[in-house]
Amino acid sequence: MQEGIAAELQAASRLFGQLAEDAEFLGEVEAVARRWLASLDAGGQILLAGNGGSAADAQHIAAEIVCRYRVVRPGAAAVALTTDTSVLTAIANDFGYEHVFARQVEALGRPGDVLVGFTTSGESPNVLRALETAGRRGLTTVALTGARGLPAGPAVDHLLAVPDPATARVQEVHGLIGHLLCAVVEDALVARAQGDAAP
């Protein structure tokens, strides 16, 4: 059993190390962080969506943005589109499950906001529809996927495709990406708040 545990840890470690040396990946994470900051600075919000474990990722990262990640700082606006069961079930009942996120983007999203869609397969119909709707409405679109990217999905502004076929590895890296973004954005928000407080 311990050999299997060690093998899982080693596989995750290799993937994390690979990404730490990937300049294109690092640059894309930085670009997404800058988009998040630009949106928040302009009074916008970060919308997040996903299914199953990816729904948990969306909620987790929204909580880090709204509350805090590592330090106390001004709150920032983020909404996980996975949490309001009345809204989700109404849309699923009236329009179909593939519309549960797109309808919320239509209602809540504004130009300059950011939509982050988590889909390990790259093929989740409700996430793809949300990204398409967001793009039409002038939101910045960010997709976090597995190695295949978005094989049949809409064009997005930023694609973070984890180069591994295992769903577990992809989800682990998605969590890491969320934390990387929260760290960079929070550091900038803290610096700005301290600058505003300076005499």
DSSP line for 78-115: EEETT--HHHHHHHHHHT-GGGTTHHHHHHH--TT-EE
How many CB atoms lie under 10 A from the CB of residue 151? 9
pTM for this model (two decimals): 0.94
- Residue 39 among known ligand-binding residues: no
Architecture label for domain 1-197: 3-Layer(aba) Sandwich (3.40)
> Strand, coil or helix: what is 74?
coil
DSSP bridge pairs for 166 = none
- Residue 52 among known ligand-binding residues: yes
Q: What is the pLDDT at residue 9? A: 93
- Residue 171 among known ligand-binding residues: yes
**The dihedral sign for the CA sequence 35, 53, 24, 132:** negative
* C-alpha to C-alpha distance for 16 and 10, rounded to whole angstroms: 10
pLDDT digits (tens, 9 = 90+) for 108-148: 999 999 999 999 999 999 999 999 999 999 999 999 999 99
- Residue 83 among known ligand-binding residues: no
Taking a C-beta distance cutoff of 8 angstroms, is the pair 179, 185 a contact? no
DSSP bridge pairs for 140 = 114
